[in-house]
Amino acid sequence: MPVPTVASVDTRNGLVSYAEQGEGPPIVLLHSLLTDRNAFDRVTGDLPGRVIAIDLPGFGETTLTGPSIEEYATLMSAAVHAISADEPVTVMGNGLGAFVALGIAIAGESSLDKLVLVGCGPAFPDSTKQAFAAMIDTVEAGGMSAVTPTALRRIFTEDYLADHPEQAEERAQVLAHTDPESFVTACRALLQVDFTDRLGDVDTPTLIVVGENDEATPPEMARALHASLPDSKLVFLPAVAHAPQIQEPAAFVDSISDFLEGA
């Protein structure tokens, strides 16, 4: 597998770090709250084009912004402009990254060609918001290590964790190196995000993907998003939780390939 080129770009809104590999039309990858830019590594080689995995605000070397998804989207949009040179670009996000990708589309990013939203919705229901509030309290009281068990159960199913301890350990190490302030800021941004009244303006072709066992962004959120986005398709992945690109990379690639290739 080719070694990615690691770089950064200084936009008018702040510094953004990223890794890229491949050639062709740009595909920008935005990771979830509970992972990092390497969360797509298991599928990167199967994606067609120049794959650009960006560190979200406060992750890697990227400038922390917020605490709103709109502010995250502004910084990421500036990075997309700078990195892709305004070529038509596909933006794929997971969890936090999916909400940021949707924010980019709502803001009317002119170079946006397609969206792939993995674990997303118009807004979080109150029951799910409680989880973010609890994670904020946990991190502020005990640091990132204190939230790791909860985070792992949100990324993966219990069966997967039991069968793949190496993935649990890898994700735990990623969480351990996450800046607590950045994590809490992102949680607060997700707590307040609500795109419900703005989705009708999005005309970007969109593929919505959700794991049927996703407790972080439950399937009903994906259904609501699909119902409100004019040009969208919805795919459910069985027995998968919040990060299908890690848990079931082959099934994930199969679920998005036709869309990416325009079929």
Q: What is the pLDDT of residues 54-97, one digit of tens each?
A: 999 999 999 999 899 999 999 999 999 898 887 899 999 999 99
pLDDT at 263 over 60: no
Q: What gap in Å lies between CA 208 and CA 198, rounded to an integer? A: 17
Contact yes or no for 56/31 (Cβ under 8 A): yes
pLDDT at 19 > cutoff 80? yes
Check: CB of residue 121 under 8 Å from CB of residue 96.
Answer: no
Which domains does the chain show, CATH number per domain? Answer: 5-125+194-260 (3.40.50.1820)
1 pLDDT band, cuts 50/70/90, is low
- Sign (positive/negative) of CA torsion 9, 4, 28, 133? negative
Average pLDDT over residues 4-21: 94
pLDDT recorded at residue 79? 94
Across residues 215-223, what is the average pLDDT?
A: 96
pLDDT value for 226: 98
Is residue 30 over pLDDT 70? yes
Residue 30's beta-bridge partner residues? 54, 93
Q: Which pLDDT score is estimated for 17?
A: 97
